[in-house]
Structure 1
Amino acid sequence: MSELEPMKRCSRCKRTLPYDDFGRNRTMRDGLQGYCRACFSEYYRERQEAKGRSVRVRVAVPRGHKRCPACAEVKPHAQWERNKTSSDGWASYCRSCRAERNRAAYFRRKYGLTEAERDDLVAGQMGVCPICLSSPAIHVDHDHATGKVRGVLCFSCNAALGQFKDRPEAMRRAISYVEGNVWKPKLVAPGVYLLPS
């Protein structure tokens, strides 16, 4: 510390410290807080705990890394998504935690289900698709008219129902077609067909 460096006395711990150890406060005459940074952090923590809130403990993070609040791990920037709107330019959560949060939010938003409720549906189906009875159940199926969840299907069966647009009459015709009971309309005139009775 040079003797020419400006110093200030902390009104809490009573130590005389350089200006760099104090936060800014424009309402004060010298433009600095009355407490040093360490005392202000302690004061803030005490106030929040008195209100019943918790304050996250500061963790030293090396340059080029960031701490994820969900998994509490310090990870390199390569494991983070870019976010231009944040102060540091990186997303709030690491890629893996962000994917988990997005997946849970998707099920809540789209189907009104938690992941645990979806897992219960799969367990109730013994883990297999209730239509083909052979593939693992991984895709949530719902009625597009009401939004009600019907079950969890395999990819192929879920896609097939989607192609039929949830129309039972089209599915019945498909069943007849597959079983060989095909009806063939007879062309009577251009654009006019005679259907079998």
Structure 2
Amino acid sequence: MRCGEHKPHAAFDRKRSNLDGLQRHCRGCGTSYHCPAPEQPSVTRVPEGHKRCRGCGEVKPHSEWHRKGDGLASRCKACRAAMAPAEHLRRSYGLNEAERDELIASQGGVCCICQSAPAVHVDHCHKTGRVRGVLCFNCNSAIGLLRDNPETINRAADYLEGNAWKPTLVAPGVYRLPS
């Protein structure tokens, strides 16, 4: 408690990592710490029902924030939306945007498979997690729907070329499978 007052548990936010499950400072002290008084010229006071974003530094109403636990997130919806693509690349593939752009440039800016559509979706091996390249939406979806199985993809290519996998009727009820 920065204020030195004894207050009921309801005056404190939750914090599971502390033994008693509560923050060390009451809500009022926390607000005054993070939202300084107007006598400090470099920082403006945050009005009731608003919060300052850690990302952009703007003061926005609570409607511009996602809920997180009992309170609000530390960054506004707009900052989180702008951060989302880069976070997805880092978390899912271990790449940053520059590395992804380098991959796209090395492919000439087009999908590795169809070589006509722009490359926008990172493709990776689901067993090893290794990034294979950057594909267009349709090619990336096709590989995923065929479960990354080369045999299935080869059979699909044979089918498209007219060499369909069909059993041959040898006798009534007896079929010979193609080799």
- TM-score normalized by the length of structure 1: 0.63
Deviation at 1:72, TM superposition (A): 1.4
Match of 2:3 in 1: 24
- Aligned-residue RMSD, C-alpha: 2.6
Structure 2 counterpart of 1:69, which letter? R
Quote the sequence identity (%): 56
Alignment deviations for residues 116-166 of structure 1 (CA, whole Å, 9 cap, x no partner): 211221222232212112222221100111110001111111110011111
CA distance in 2, matches of 1:74, 1:123: 39
Match of 2:116 in 1: 134
Q: State yes or no: 1:121 paired with 2:121.
A: no
Q: Work out which of the residue numbers 172, 176, 179 in structure 2 matches 1:194.
A: 176
Alignment deviations for residues 61-93 of structure 1 (CA, whole Å, 9 cap, x no partner): 23332211111122232321122433xxx2110
Q: State yes or no: 1:74 paired with 2:53.
A: no
CA distance in 2, matches of 1:157, 1:146: 20
Say how many residue pairs are matched.
Answer: 144
Deviation at 1:187, TM superposition (A): 4.3
From the CA coordinates, give the structure whose radius of gyration is larger: 1
Deviation at 1:58, TM superposition (A): 4.1
Superposed, 1:41-120 pairs within 5 Å as 58-86=43-71, 90-120=72-102
**Contact 2:158 2:164 (8 Å CA) reproduced:** yes
What secondary structure, in the 3-state scheme, does the structure 1 residue paired with 2:155 have? Answer: helix
Give the ranges of 4+ consecutive aligned residues of structure 1 lying more than 3 Å apart after TM superposition: 100-103, 187-190
What secondary structure, in the 3-state scheme, does the structure 1 residue paired with 2:82 have? Answer: helix
CA distance in 2, matches of 1:132, 1:143: 19
Deviation at 1:114, TM superposition (A): 1.4
Structure 2 counterpart of 1:59, which letter? T
Structure 1 counterpart of 2:164, which letter? V
Bigger relative contact order, structure 1 or 2 (CA pairs below 8 A, ≥6 apart): 2
Cα 1:128–1:67 shift into 2, 3 Å: same
Alignment deviations for residues 8-55 of structure 1 (CA, whole Å, 9 cap, x no partner): xxxxxxxxxxxxxxx5236xxxxxxxxxx9xxx8xxxxxxxxxxxxxx
Q: State yes or no: 1:143 paired with 2:125.
A: yes
**Contact 2:155 2:165 (8 Å CA) reproduced:** no
CA distance in 1, matches of 2:61, 2:3: 31
CA distance in 2, matches of 1:64, 1:159: 44
Structure 1 counterpart of 2:4, which letter? N
Runs of at least 5 residues in structure 1 that lack an aligned partner in the other structure: 1-22, 27-36, 42-56
